[in-house]
Amino acid sequence: MPRVSFAPSARADLDDIALGVEEDASAAGEETVRRILDACDRLAAFPRIGRLRPVYAPELRSFVPPSTRYVIYYYPLDDGVEIVHVLHGRRDAARVLRDEGQ
């Protein structure tokens, strides 16, 4: 079974998403995170379906899960994916990824 690995930055992003969305409604926060995690599992099975993002880092890819406003940034692995960030679509991803050297 393909594995999903989360970098500390991705775990922090998911915590922020859950807390931020939960301010509006706790069920909405849980549902948004569940959709993102389901997409991460799908990416582990099909790691090359995301868009290649070489401007940020070699091999870095991005994927927008259906029915969310978030973008998953990840690296394909031999046995799955490593999720490095999950950012809102309006966030300045270039700055976040460039600042962290992703």
pLDDT in tens, 65-77: 988 899 999 999 9
User: Where in the chain are the domains?
Assistant: 3-100
Is domain 3-100 in CATH 3.20.20.140, yes or no?
Answer: no
pLDDT in tens, 7-52: 999 999 998 888 775 555 566 777 888 999 999 999 999 999 999 9
Q: Which residue has the higher pLDDT, 77 or 100?
A: 77
Question: Would you give the end-to-end CA distance of the chain in angstroms?
Answer: 26
Give the global pTM: 0.89
